[in-house]
Amino acid sequence: MEFTAIQIATFLGGTVEGNPETKVYNVAKIEEGAPGMLSFLANPKYEQYLYTTNSSIVLVNNDLKLQDKVSATLIRVPDAYAAFAQLLGLYQQFMQSKSGVSSLAFISKDATYGEDVYIGEFAFIGERAKIGNRVKIYPQVYVGDDCVIGDDTVIYAGAKLYAQTVVGKSCILHSGCVLGADGFGFAPQEDCSYKKIPQIGNVSLGDNVEIGANTCIDCATMGSTKIHDGVKLDNLIQIAHNVELGKNTAIAAQTGVSGSTKIGNNCIIAGQVGFVGHIHIANNTKIGAQSGILGSVKKEGEELMGSPAINLKDYLRMSVYTKNLEKLVKRVEQLEKQLKEKQQ
């Protein structure tokens, strides 16, 4: 599907510099552009590519001052990055405009679904499941008994929702994610074996939540493991039983959150962070990659790094000392040697 520069500019509220009838049919990075491609320039570090790119149309900021001739047609907008993201969203909607229920899907007789849904081949919808309007369920998705899925949610191929899982509106669940598997609960026995503790709770997701590929969110032992509105989880994350993630918290890949830990609103957590169980993390906390969180964070807005995690500024200061540790050790050894010589 092709779009002209003037059509794109009208949609974005921008202005065209160059041929308004220039057509594009796909998108590309500005440094990898080709004829028929749309690119954008937001970071000044990439401005050099603006003068050499083969892309047909480039989105740029209104305040950009050209340093050389440009062969591409330009569309000036207040924020090129935001405008490009807006176009990508429109493109994604077009590409995902699937609808209809496949004859190869299994839907229990007492399950219900709304209008304009898509349910792909070999999807399984369990008993008493309730699926909202405009929901897209791709092939081989498992939706267990008594699950509830809100309007406009997308569930990609191979995702698994155990019984009683609740998913809010406008959520995105990527391939391979598992919601509602048993929490890691075992009671030690006198003979050093373990007895499994039944996990009878569920997982509850708010609205506008995104769960990455192969991320696992365990059901609660009792009650709910709660993922509140706007939470964004990367791929390969483990969320244990009875954890609660506050609104608009974002967590990067390979992080693990132990059972019953509660993380506040608007937190940003980098990759490979480990949390012990039964602690509280205050709102607006930021935690650097590979940190180990061994206790509660009570002060809002803290920035932490390291294992065990400490204040970011202290961590950076210690990193400088660590780099010079070998020199410091040699210096101490030299001083000790001089002291011994004086004592003799």
Q: How would you write the pLDDT of the chain (344 residues) with one tens digit per residue? A: 789 999 999 999 999 999 999 999 999 999 999 999 999 999 999 999 999 999 999 999 999 999 999 999 999 999 999 999 999 888 777 777 788 999 999 999 999 999 999 999 999 999 999 999 999 999 999 999 999 999 999 999 999 999 999 999 999 999 999 999 999 999 999 999 999 999 999 999 999 999 999 999 999 999 999 999 999 999 999 999 999 999 999 999 999 999 999 999 999 999 999 999 999 999 999 999 999 999 999 999 999 999 999 999 999 988 888 888 888 889 999 999 889 888 87
Note whether residue 328 is domain-resident: no
Q: Is 280 a catalytic residue?
A: no
Does 150 lie in the same domain as 36? Answer: no
Query: HSE (CB half, 13 Å, CA atoms) of 55?
Result: 26
What pLDDT shows up at residue 92? 78
Please report the sign of the dihedral spanned by the C-alpha atoms of residue 15, residue 19, residue 21, residue 22.
negative
Note whether residue 194 is domain-resident: yes
Does 199 lie in the same domain as 58? Answer: no
Cβ partners under 8 Å of residue 50, min gap 6: 30, 41, 58, 60, 66, 70, 72
Does 191 lie in the same domain as 217? Answer: yes
Among 65, 95, 125, the domain boundary falls at 95
CA 210 – CA 116 distance, rounded (Å): 21
What pLDDT shows up at residue 342? 85
Does 259 lie in the same domain as 161? Answer: yes
Does 108 lie in the same domain as 68? Answer: no
Q: Contact, 83 vs 100, CB < 8 A?
A: no
Which range of residues forms the domain containing residue 13? 3-95
Note whether residue 331 is domain-resident: no
What pLDDT shows up at residue 55? 97
Note whether residue 45 is domain-resident: yes
What pLDDT shows up at residue 341? 85
Does 174 lie in the same domain as 302? Answer: yes
Please give the tally of structural domains in the chain.
Answer: 2
Q: Contact, 163 vs 182, CB < 8 A?
A: no
Note whether residue 321 is domain-resident: no
Does 151 lie in the same domain as 78? Answer: no
CA 172 – CA 220 distance, rounded (Å): 21
Q: Which of 228, 241, 278, 280 is catalytic?
A: 241
Does 57 lie in the same domain as 166? Answer: no
Does 90 lie in the same domain as 33? Answer: yes
Does 70 lie in the same domain as 111? Answer: no
Cα 205 from chain centroid (whole Å)? 14
What pLDDT shows up at residue 298? 96
Residue type (1 letter), 316? L
Note whether residue 240 is domain-resident: yes
Q: What angle do CA 6, 9, 14 make, to 5 degrees?
A: 135
Among 95, 117, 135, the domain boundary falls at 95
Does 23 lie in the same domain as 116? Answer: no
Does 219 lie in the same domain as 123? Answer: yes
3-state secondary structure of 274: strand
